[in-house]
Structure 1
Amino acid sequence: MTGKRYSTATAVALICAATVLAAPGTAFASPARPTSPATPTDPRPRTDKALEEVRKDIDKLYHDAGVATDAYNAAEEKADQQSEQIVKLAKDIAKGQAKLKKLKARAGAAARAQYRGGGMPDEAQLMLSDNPGRFLDGAGRLRQGQKATKGMLTELERTQEDLRIYAEDATARWKKLEANRKAKAASKKKIKKKIAAAEKLESTLEKKERERLRKLEEAAALKKQSAWVSSGALKDVDGKASPQGKKAIEFATAQIGKPYVWGAEGPGSYDCSGLTSKAWSAAGRGIPRTSQEQWKQLPRVDVKNMRPGDLIIYHSDASHVGMYLGDGAIVHAPRPGRDVTIAGAGSMKILGVVRPDK
């Protein structure tokens, strides 16, 4: 069923690609432009020029929200890691304290035994013995006891030092955790602000204008895809998906139609890197959570060498990611208000390509 869904989705992408390939030099006619665009309170419908400006403004707001989403996801991932490390340190501290308690109990027992012997050191008591056999037997036990006592004191000191280091490390990690929580809160605030501004701007449009806006978005994407295909970028691209890549594609395409939600990793919704990281996790390969870290940490490949399953990173700030399907198409979670879908791989500014299973 999933394979059939992928085939259908790819077929749709191929139809778009075929249109682009058939007319690489397609010109997009400029609409008639009046002397001044309609304002939001103007009863006249907006011109395509005015709508194009709205589209660009909305794109920028959602792009900024995407950058903030990556920062939010990164802070969340770090906070999760630091929380796990703090829990581990707490367990280590608890073990160390239990060990220290036992060592102190042993040291106390040794001190009490010495007190019961009149406070006289074992060496002195042994020297005063008038029994040669007892003296020789005691000398052996004394050496063993001294060695054990020295070892116990060394272990006691080492345990105390370990506890001191654990405590300092836990304090430092707690401070970092708090800093990441603040960064996460700041990013969350920025995301909500940018999305609210975009939604407010879009809400000023009439229903027909929103439909025209979507068509303008599609036209802009198609124009970029056309230019990308016409540049010959796909000329030598013929790689085949790896077994893991096929599994990742199967997972990603099965999410088509689910809504974009910032910070989401499924199963009901995704953001762009939430989709790609979960898809590759389903394929048995854990990758970084954010598009920026995917760009930083995963092996890079040339566009001409890319194959289905590879991740295409977009924009100069690596704020968006999609999974290459082949035939010049990607599956991705676009932005708030849109669903996981198939799009042209060149419909956005490509930063580069990374391969999770290289």
Structure 2
Amino acid sequence: MNRRRHAIAAITVICALTVLASPALTLQASASPLPPPAPKKSLEEVREEIETLYRQAAVATDAYNLAEERAKEQSAEIVELARMIVEGREKIAVLKAKAGAAARAQYRNGGLPEGAQLVLTNDPQLFLDNAGRLKAGAKATSDLLGEMTRTQAELDAYAKDASTNWTKLESDRVKQAQAKKEINEKIAAAEELEDQLEAEERERLRRLEEEARSRAQAAWLDTGVLDGAKTGATAEGKKAVAFATAQIGKPYVWGAEGPGSYDCSGLTQSAWSAAGRNIPRTSQEQWRLLPHVDVKDMRPGDLIVYYKDASHIGMYVGNGTIVHAPRPGRNVTLAGAGSMEILGVVRPS
């Protein structure tokens, strides 16, 4: 009997262990294998990804610069409108004072209007004198009322314009903040990719960048685009080129207009400002608003705009070369004019 009890107990334990073990075995059998690790990107793929991120940052920088420029203009307009509103209110106060003086003069005449006084007089000369004054007074009153009406209408218009400009200002401030966030995100992502590379890989990456630029420049020159190109610059163009080349070695900083650092359009705008000519702030606005010239007709001082979205710009200095502020992490430098995808050429002067 004891042996039977021990056997039954042993069988029970074995069955329980089997039941408990079954789900684990089932789960182990049904579990899918781990996915293979993602293949490591080649340096060329990393280079292209970094370049794309910096170009996206450049587009966002243009959006930021444009919003900042418009915000400055709107702020200046609001200040001017405020000044005009103050002047308008002061003018209305003066006009009201004149109207009050006229009312007090009538009160001193016993409250009788000038027309009634004219009818009551028996002196012909006095009648004629009063008639002249009455006519002049009526015109003055009419002019006074008309001026008050016009001034009030102007005040209303100024207030409406100020409100509109304030709304635009707030909108552009929001755009600035959004663009700034995007710029920092793109630059951070590009820098993170570079930081993941070993020192030797970063050096090879730099050489890959140079080789890609050199190939593009050679292909561009092989088209014969510079055959018969103009080499002379205008006096203004020489000043702009001299200023831009004097900035070589200074760092690229997005949104910067000098004197210690520049972004691409900040450099070209500052250079032409030094030559006595104001041009738009962003590369996209410089492309949109400045006169276009054919690449074969360009001369030193002209600006070459790059990529389909006009997100980069440099100044042609002659001999197939530009001076430009390339991107974050780089300094103002000379480069082949055809080392990037050319959209077109614009001429500030």
* TM class by smaller structure: 0.7 to 0.9
Runs of 4+ in structure 1 off by over 3 angstroms are 36-39
Relative to structure 1, the CA distance from residue 241 to residue 219 in structure 2 (aligned partners, 3 Å threshold; closer, same or farther) is same
1:45 maps to none
Q: Say if 2:220 is the partner of 1:218.
A: no
Q: Say if 2:109 is the partner of 1:109.
A: no
Matches within 5 A, 1:132-151: 132-151=124-143
Q: Say if 2:281 is the partner of 1:299.
A: no
Give the distance between the partners of 1:124 and 1:207, measured in 2 at CA: 103
Q: Say if 2:340 is the partner of 1:345.
A: no
Give 2:253's match in structure 1, choosing from 261, 281, 289: 261
1:130 maps to 122
Give the distance between the partners of 2:305 and 2:318, measured in 1 at CA: 15
Amino acid at match of 2:296: K
1:240 maps to 232
Give the distance between the partners of 2:233 and 2:186, measured in 1 at CA: 37
2:312 maps to 320
Amino acid at match of 1:91: R
Give the gaps of 5 or more residues in structure 1: 1-35, 40-48
Q: Say if 2:185 is the partner of 1:231.
A: no
1:165 maps to 157
Give 1:52's match in structure 2, choosing from 21, 44, 54: 44
2:56 maps to 64
Give the distance between the partners of 2:178 and 2:111, measured in 1 at CA: 65
Q: Say if 2:209 is the partner of 1:209.
A: no
1:278 maps to 270
Identical pairs, percent: 64
Q: Say if 2:83 is the partner of 1:86.
A: no
Taking structure 2 as the reference length, what is the TM-score of the superposition?
A: 0.88
2:89 maps to 97
Cα deviation, residue 38, structure 1: 6.9
- Bigger Rg over Cα: 2
**Which fold has the larger relative contact order, with Cα–Cα distance below 8 Å and residues 6 or more apart in sequence?**
1
Tell me if structure 2 keeps the 8 A contact 1:322–1:332: yes
1:75 maps to 67
Give the distance between the partners of 2:84 and 2:302, measured in 1 at CA: 41
Over the aligned positions, Cα root-mean-square deviation in angstroms equals 1.3
Give the distance between the partners of 2:39 and 2:323, measured in 1 at CA: 36
Number of residues of Structure 1 aligned to a counterpart in Structure 2: 313
1:14 maps to none
Amino acid at match of 1:275: L
Q: Say if 2:145 is the partner of 1:153.
A: yes
Tell me if structure 2 keeps the 8 A contact 1:324–1:331: yes
Cα deviation, residue 37, structure 1: 9.2
Give the gaps of 5 or more residues in structure 2: 1-36
Relative to structure 1, the CA distance from residue 190 to residue 58 in structure 2 (aligned partners, 3 Å threshold; closer, same or farther) is same
Give the distance between the partners of 2:174 and 2:110, measured in 1 at CA: 62
1:120 maps to 112
Tell me if structure 2 keeps the 8 A contact 1:74–1:289: yes
Give the distance between the partners of 1:209 and 1:115, measured in 2 at CA: 96
Q: Secondary structure at the match of 2:304?
A: strand
